[in-house]
Amino acid sequence: MSVLDAFRLDDKVVIVTGASSGLGVSFARACAEAGADVVLAARRVEKLADTAELVRGTGRRALTVATDVVDPEQCQAMVDAAMTEFGRVDVLVNNAGVGTAVPATRETPDEFRAVVDINLNGSYWAAQACGRVMQPGSSVINISSILGITTAGLPQAAYSASKAAISGLTRDLAQQWGVRKGIRVNAIAPGFFKSEMTDQYKPGYLESVIERAALGRVGDPAELAATLVWLASPAGGYVTGQTIVVDGGVTIT
């Protein structure tokens, strides 16, 4: 296998949660371009149609599944649907997530729990369901954030805590499933990329944060998706238990 061939996902089956918008769309398209069939999961199933067309436009197959990752039974149903349609699950991209910007003294228990329930618990339920059927050589990729490593001027306790916990979850699953199952588990910690979440920022905030970046700009989603394909593919075959930071240098300043 050549170096370039090692980055291919030919005939693999990839599940992408939160695939209805933002980075999830980029991840799904990149995996399809690398040769994978893609299971697209999200609560807003009607919004998955556009992502499915992007996948099919590459010549690969797409399956849409209404999934709320907060519910373990729905995560299991998502995997069951993938197995029925494709007969295998090779890669899970745990992308579903939400964020808040609420001062700690005003954040309600329900607001805090809702973020943790989706970002952390949902990632665990999805990984658990996939781990039951994945074969050796499979890969789980959890989407964390640099806000699990550093701060960025907004009150985001729930989001930051959930994303920091993703790194711990990643390490533990990598340890559990490495030798025993042959499954690699890694995380990506993105910096600031254009998405629905960044669209909610107050005017001027994103520009002020990007001043901290060594590269001085917002990331292109394709740059993040390239890292994901590397971790999903044989090219990343000796990488597990790691959180890979892709942030243009925000966390080094």
122-161 confidence digits (pLDDT tens): 999 999 999 999 999 999 999 999 999 988 778 889 999 9
Nearest by Cα to 22 from 146, 160, 199: 199
**Could you tell me which residues come within 8 angstroms of residue 106 by beta carbon, excluding any fewer than 6 positions away?**
none
Model pLDDT, residue 198: 63
Q: From the candidates 124, 159, 205, 238, give the one annotated as an active-site residue.
A: 159
The model's pTM is: 0.94
By the 8 A CB rule, do 87 and 18 touch? no
248 touches 214 (CB < 8 A): yes
pLDDT at 203: 76
Dump pLDDT digits (tens) for 73-115: 999 999 999 999 999 999 999 999 988 888 899 999 999 999 9
pLDDT at 200: 65
Structure tokens at 57: 């436009």
Q: What is the pLDDT of residue 197?
A: 65
5-245: CATH topology is Rossmann fold (3.40.50)
Distances (CA, A) of 118 to 77, 81, 93, 190: 17, 21, 14, 18
Name the pLDDT band for 193 (thresholds 50, 70, 90). Answer: confident
- The answer to whether 219 touches 174, Cβ cutoff 8 Å, is no
- pLDDT (0 to 100) of residue 195: 67
The arithmetic mean of pLDDT across residues 14-21, rounded, is 96
pLDDT score recorded for residue 196: 65
Domain ranges of the chain: 5-245
Known active-site residue 159: yes
Are 190 and 247 in contact, with CB atoms under 8 Å apart?
Answer: yes
